Structure 1
């Protein structure tokens, strides 16, 4: 399928038949928007979709978004978002907030935007909100929209950026709540993650591919690397990378007792390209070098 590039806020607004309130940021209401043609789109700006209706219209990655009645979907520049055919008789409801990275230049938010990892979440990872949460987010959308309707002055950008940061901070809180309320789903993901790691270590992949990456594990679970990493961090208090490393070290401790193998051989068997990298990681995690550990035991 051809990927259509939409570079600017104005271009997207015009495509949806909406007024451009500001060349770098806009809030659009689905009630007044023309439907996008089903296709894959690459946006050159950030997008926050407040979905009020389950209409089966968006896909990022391999699967449809996991929608409920009230959902938030975050899309970063450069991501490919696919618009599917709309469900018969259903017109999307909600709002869309779009802003170009240039709008944040010179602001505090510009320096911390990458901390909001949900902009890189993928399929089955939309933020599902309660009625109360949805109303709070909707009020923030409307506050930003009202400010954009004012006569622009030297305070406009500061105020809009402040409101946008509040919106993102509340989204972070609501995602934390979602991780907790979907604990049963998360436990299943943890179990599958454990199984993926064990199967990987019991295969020849360590020697042929190397230590499994976070991105590899996330892909096996049909999750984005960011969502997967955030989920593991919240469930285990360790990052996914640290979790994988602990598994490697546990396996290394078993192998070290085979005195017929050199430390370099063990390092290669564990997927390390350079033995010194293995030694450095082992000492960091265990507090002593592999040789010291072998001699001690």
Structure 2
């Protein structure tokens, strides 16, 4: 079945995100904190095209009147205020969105912020970042007070001049925020039966699970995932492109590069050993792919991060 082509706007960096929202450049290259009351009067091009962001977003929104479209379903804010988006996921908003009374905050951070920390490995375990969750998290007044307090500490650190400890402190604060979110999430959803996974969610789980494995694995192919989902490779790529703006191979490359970055920054493996562990038979192919996607060779990326 042929899916109609769509236009997608890709936000690859935190600066892309603030520019898209009509806000000043971020104080930190990998993280920003947005006051939604200040941002609500900005024009919203998100109404025109779906947005693909290669960033994590956590938001607490009050007086939000409208619906988000998340993946290819609606994301329900009618009862909840706390929402989450992971890198590579797609969202857009209703034409009738009313933000005239919107308030709250939005934390936006790049996955590279977490690469050298255990939190980077744990992110896949936070179920509220999954496409399977189609409703915002409802929190009590006391829970909201806790989150606002945590956000105040993050804001205080974010507004300080960057020094050698800034990233350590920010990552620790984000982990604390997500730990509380995990507690609230399980309180709300633990007793509910999980909805049946659609193909997009199933692909997301399969892809994350494949690259979470340790040791040397062969490079996964489009055919591998298509077979696991019981669809043809052409259908899978067409379906993913229509829903996310990227085909199967592009999703694989994105996940592969995220794992490559983690190995480069958290292990002492040589560049060649890293390539072999990722499944490349020839390291030069790994070098070529890495540079084409990041603008840096693996060696240069490792040096720049250190």
TM-score (norm 2): 0.58
Structure 2 CA distance, aligned partners of 1:36 and 1:57? 14
Structure 2 CA distance, aligned partners of 1:225 and 1:67? 24
Q: Which residue of structure 1 lines up, in the alignment, with residue 174 of structure 2?
A: 164
Indicate if the aligned counterparts of 1:58 and 1:81 stay in contact, CA closer than 8 A. yes
User: Measured at CA, do residues 145 and 86 of structure 1 come closer, stay the same or move farther in structure 2, by a change above 3 Å?
Assistant: farther
- Secondary structure of 1:28's counterpart equals strand
Indicate if the aligned counterparts of 2:70 and 2:134 stay in contact, CA closer than 8 A. no
Q: Which residue of structure 1 lines up, in the alignment, with residue 76 of structure 2?
A: 66
Structure 2 CA distance, aligned partners of 1:134 and 1:9? 25
| Equivalent runs, 1:82-161 vs 2, <5 Å | 82-88=92-98, 90-122=100-132, 124-161=134-171
Q: Which residue of structure 2 lines up, in the alignment, with residue 29 of structure 1?
A: 35
Tell which has more relative contact order, 1 or 2 (C-alpha 8 A, sep 6+): 2
Indicate if the aligned counterparts of 1:26 and 1:99 stay in contact, CA closer than 8 A. yes
**1:111 Cα shift?**
2.0
Structure 2 CA distance, aligned partners of 1:43 and 1:62? 15
Q: Which residue of structure 2 lines up, in the alignment, with residue 295 of structure 1?
A: none
User: Measured at CA, do residues 41 and 122 of structure 1 come closer, stay the same or move farther in structure 2, by a change above 3 Å?
Assistant: farther
**1:99 Cα shift?**
0.5
Q: Which residue of structure 2 lines up, in the alignment, with residue 42 of structure 1?
A: 52
Asked if 1:9 corresponds to 2:14, the answer is yes
Structure 1 CA distance, aligned partners of 2:152 and 2:99? 27
Deviations 1:214-244 (A, max 9, x none): xxx4229xx955999xxxxxxxxxxxxxxxx
User: Measured at CA, do residues 121 and 130 of structure 1 come closer, stay the same or move farther in structure 2, by a change above 3 Å?
Assistant: farther
Structure 2 CA distance, aligned partners of 1:104 and 1:172? 18
- Secondary structure of 2:150's counterpart equals helix
Q: How many residues align?
A: 196
**Stretches of structure 2 lacking an aligned partner (at least 5 in a row):** 1-5, 206-229, 231-306
Asked if 1:219 corresponds to 2:216, the answer is no
**1:67 Cα shift?**
1.4
User: Measured at CA, do residues 31 and 173 of structure 1 come closer, stay the same or move farther in structure 2, by a change above 3 Å?
Assistant: same
**1:88 Cα shift?**
4.6
Comparing 134-143 and 165-174, the one that deviates more: 134-143
| Structure showing greater Rg | 1
Structure 2 CA distance, aligned partners of 1:142 and 1:89? 23
Indicate if the aligned counterparts of 1:44 and 1:78 stay in contact, CA closer than 8 A. yes
- Secondary structure of 2:74's counterpart equals coil
**1:122 Cα shift?**
4.3
